[in-house]
Structure 1
Amino acid sequence: MGNILIVDDHKRVRISLQMLLQDEFDTVNVLSNPKSLLRELQVNSYDIVLLDMNFSAGVNTGNEGLFWMNEILKYDPDLAVVLLTAYGDVELAVTAVKKGATDFVLKPWDNNKLISTLKSALSLRLSKKKIQKLETDKQDLTRELNQNKSEMIGRSTAMMNLRKLMQKVAVTDANVLVLGEHGTGKELIAREIHQQSQRSMKPMVSVDMGAMSESLFESELFGHAKGAFTDAREDRQGRFELASGGTIFLDEIGNLSLAMQAKLLSVLQNRQVIRLGDHQTRSIDIRLVCATNKNLQEMVAEGTFREDLLYRINTIQIEVPSLRDRISDVALLAEYFLMKYATKYDKRRLTYTDEAIDKLQNYPWPGNVRELQHAVEKAVILSEGDKITCEDFLLKQNGVRASNLPPQSFMDMEKQMILTAMERHEGNLTHMARELGVTRPTLYHKIRKYDL
């Protein structure tokens, strides 16, 4: 019900107001002199201050009320201040509202109108507190997510150069294109750029473009209005609106069709979105980071990627080195993942044998850091005793899992077919999907599913 403080130098006014409001609010306290007002606010918590505009005998300018209103709002800008004023001071009271007062009430007041005004002021105060709490919780969650996502491990020259470039880029708002093979950690790079930017306390929204169907593209990215399509039961923000103020990360941008590219380009040029089924333009303030494992320059030459879109997303280009190009980081990464999964699976005494580390360093890692991470997790699960040995690592041979046994299930056969198509077409998803008779999003899902 809220707490209210009444500040008025007339005893009858204070008594009348206290009697009127005692059943409407949790706490109703009174002060006769505003000089003790700030001390009272420090001692007790209030939601509303009902403040008279005149206190000195014979003075009716209302300036005292304005002065104490300013002092209250300096102490707590979100405290609701409602002014009690005579009819002749209405113009001054309107000025006070413009300067921060919540509302004013004319003397003599109407009881119902006074209560209604104070209740509205309380509702506004509680709404502000709720918004502040949500914003604080959001910042705390963002900070926690940022802290937990940092896994940039490596001391190789390639990684040191990558960090230097990221530090230069992060402090700007320049659009960034991150290039690299599957499993090199492109999203991790995007997250590090966001964390080091001035937008770090705002959200980073990640969108997997490779898994997004064309029918859902506009709704997911730009939002939709209620009734825009059969299942649109309410208005919904798209990913761009959710990321406004922060960073949006478009992963696998090379997988977009030309039609989807055109719609994306329009939003990036205008920095405005129009929700599906709506006509209102909504401005967005985003930092754009994109990533792909494809050669976009070749795609431009082939006519499968728009050149103007490439220029728009490619202000700064960052190339993430493959793990085989920074083999000196393998042992360090292996130790990091061992610590992570040994804790997860309650095997904290685990260590590697020297032969196991040698095996890891002599392997080409076609799946890059992601493959190493999964290999270590599986080794931790399979290990017996306190040592991880060579035999605990089930690695590929020439890009195919080592096994002398034929496929034993449909999933094994499907996986083998994808691997064969991947080698034949050098990872070109369009050609692979055509050979296998599936759509590109379906193929992309299966590549993720089998960790290929």
Structure 2
Amino acid sequence: MTQTRRFGRCIIIDDDPDILLSARLLLRDLFREVADFQSPEDALQAMDEELPDVVLLDANFGRGATNAAEGFHWLAEILKRDPQAVVVMITAHAGVSVAVEAMKRGATDFVSKPWSNERLLATVRTAAALRTSREEAVTERKRSAAIGAPAAGGDIPLLGRSPAMARVYSLIERAAPTEANVLILGENGTGKELVARELHRHSRRADNVLVTVDLGAVAESLFESELFGHVKGAFTDAKGDRIGRMQAANGGTLFLDEIGNLPLHLQPKLLTALEQRQVIPVGGNKPVPIDVRVIAATNCPPDQLADESRFRQDLLFRLNTVEIELPPLRERHEDIGVLIEHFVALYARKYGKPARAIPAEVAAALEGYDWPGNVRALRHAAERAVILADGDAFTAEDFSLSRAIPAPRPQATQADPARDDLNLERAEKAIVEQALKKHSYNISLAAAELGLTRASLYRRMEKHGL
């Protein structure tokens, strides 16, 4: 036997206690909760606590009243509280004109007293289903907006005037107007997503959406659903059809971040979708055509991408029609001053802090540091400095450079005091930095060696200014 579907909450408003009891008993198997009220004021207070799926509202409350004036008044008040409210008006027998007027004013349906139990159940069930579909539509619109919205920090410009950055700008200018797929290489924090946004902004697809997928954060079990979508019932939690990121990017640009972290056994699925320019949602059997331009990014060094045991070469050829390599900050020290000035001004405005000078010696220290975390680390250091500085001018300590720039020291020996440093904070920072350098700042590999998740490693990097 099929179990009756249960909705959330139903509110019944009527001044007749017998009507309330009858409706409550009839509807209790349809809803998780059925609340009844003789007073509309009490019902509105209950709505403030939890919005109902359906409201059954009597048209007349005063003895002998037939014009439904009170019902219309409370209908308006309910819709003020919840513009998406689904209200079924309870009218007197043959009160068709009242029912029609109620629906003009925003009611969803009506039932006449005395009612047929079957008619009331069918009407309320349909009304509750309507509420559910409205909520799903609102959720889907929010999801679509979130997919297309720029990521946090997406409004930060790509900055730099070094020869290395001049080459990057030149490649962006030449590649952006084409339909060529682009592969962006660079260490973590160098600004690969900013390059992707510049490519999209100057492309023929600029009026359409840029959809970002962080493949390093997508669970393997959800890869197909996330990229290709799914149909209702495809798996336990698939309560409705859902379009994937590739279909959401139709007509626009798909940015596949951390492509180097895509497991080898999933790479053929992505390659097939790109080659055939279509996807098949999980649980479906009908291909959906897609029209996307692909921009991919990875922090994997080129020699690792060339390793067939880690990355399919046919997929690599599909992705890197144009290759843009972003230089790390240690290779463009002349850009550090421009970046610091930009971020200091940005965070001073954000936090309402006064403008402070950057003395020459502090600027020299900033420009002399290698910034292992690249622009991301520099941005975090600038934000901390703006928040913590209390003088008229910035100091090196405001940027945490006194502990961020390690002094060179010889190989540890039995007498080396570094071995006797038992400070956990410094030890953790040294270990994290060692793992990052060992793996050329590949977050996934460094996190695996440290026994951490990527998110945990990012938190420690931010904590220690790495």
- Residue of structure 2 in register with 1:274 after alignment: 280
Superimposed CA distance per residue, residues 271-297 of structure 1 (whole angstroms, 9 cap, x where no aligned partner): 101111111110111110000111244
- Residue of structure 1 in register with 2:383 after alignment: 377
- Residue of structure 1 in register with 2:433 after alignment: 419
Q: How far does residue 143 in structure 1 lie from its aligned partner after superposition?
A: 10
2:345 maps to 1:331: no
Q: Distance in 1 between matches of 2:450 and 2:370?
A: 27
Superimposed CA distance per residue, residues 104-154 of structure 1 (whole angstroms, 9 cap, x where no aligned partner): xxxxxxxxxxxxxxxxxxxxxxxxxxxxxxx9xx99x97999996251111
- Residue of structure 2 in register with 1:165 after alignment: 171
1:248 aligned counterpart, secondary structure: strand
Q: Distance in 2 between matches of 1:423 and 1:245?
A: 40
Q: Distance in 2 between matches of 1:283 and 1:213?
A: 25
Q: Distance in 1 between matches of 2:422 and 2:442?
A: 26
2:306 aligned counterpart, secondary structure: helix
- Residue of structure 2 in register with 1:351 after alignment: 357
2:455 maps to 1:445: yes
Superimposed CA distance per residue, residues 148-204 of structure 1 (whole angstroms, 9 cap, x where no aligned partner): 625111111222221111111000010000001111100000000000011111110
Verify the 8 A CA contact 2:255 2:296 in the aligned structure 1: yes
Superimposed CA distance per residue, residues 420-451 of structure 1 (whole angstroms, 9 cap, x where no aligned partner): 3333444456754554445xxx2x22232233
In the alignment, which of 235, 247, 251 is matched to residue 229 of structure 1?
235
In the alignment, which of 202, 207, 214 is matched to residue 220 of structure 2?
214
After superposition, the Cα gap between the structure-2 partners of 1:407 and 1:287, relative to the gap in structure 1 and judged at 3 Å, is farther
2:192 maps to 1:186: yes
Q: Distance in 1 between matches of 2:268 and 2:227?
A: 13
- Residue of structure 2 in register with 1:367 after alignment: 373
Identity, % of aligned positions: 46
Superimposed CA distance per residue, residues 331-384 of structure 1 (whole angstroms, 9 cap, x where no aligned partner): 111110011001111113222122211110111111111111111111111100
Q: Distance in 1 between matches of 2:244 and 2:194?
A: 23
- The number of residues matched between the two structures is 310
Gaps of 5+ in 1: 1-134
Q: How far does residue 240 in structure 1 lie from its aligned partner after superposition?
A: 0.5
Give the letter for the 2:434 counterpart.
Answer: T
Give the letter for the 2:253 counterpart.
Answer: T
1:232 aligned counterpart, secondary structure: coil
After superposition, the Cα gap between the structure-2 partners of 1:363 and 1:413, relative to the gap in structure 1 and judged at 3 Å, is closer
CA RMSD of aligned residues (A): 3.2
Q: How far does residue 413 in structure 1 lie from its aligned partner after superposition?
A: 6.6
After superposition, the Cα gap between the structure-2 partners of 1:146 and 1:385, relative to the gap in structure 1 and judged at 3 Å, is closer
Verify the 8 A CA contact 1:171 1:198 in the aligned structure 2: yes
After superposition, the Cα gap between the structure-2 partners of 1:289 and 1:398, relative to the gap in structure 1 and judged at 3 Å, is farther
Q: How far does residue 209 in structure 1 lie from its aligned partner after superposition?
A: 0.8
In the alignment, which of 219, 243, 246 is matched to residue 240 of structure 1?
246
After superposition, the Cα gap between the structure-2 partners of 1:289 and 1:148, relative to the gap in structure 1 and judged at 3 Å, is closer
After superposition, the Cα gap between the structure-2 partners of 1:406 and 1:248, relative to the gap in structure 1 and judged at 3 Å, is farther
Gaps of 5+ in 2: 1-140, 409-417
Q: How does 1:7-46 map to 2 (within 5 A)?
A: none
Q: How does 1:252-331 map to 2 (within 5 A)?
A: 252-301=258-307, 303-331=309-337
TM-score of the two chains, using structure 1 as the length reference: 0.62
After superposition, the Cα gap between the structure-2 partners of 1:398 and 1:253, relative to the gap in structure 1 and judged at 3 Å, is farther
Q: Distance in 2 between matches of 1:429 and 1:346?
A: 34
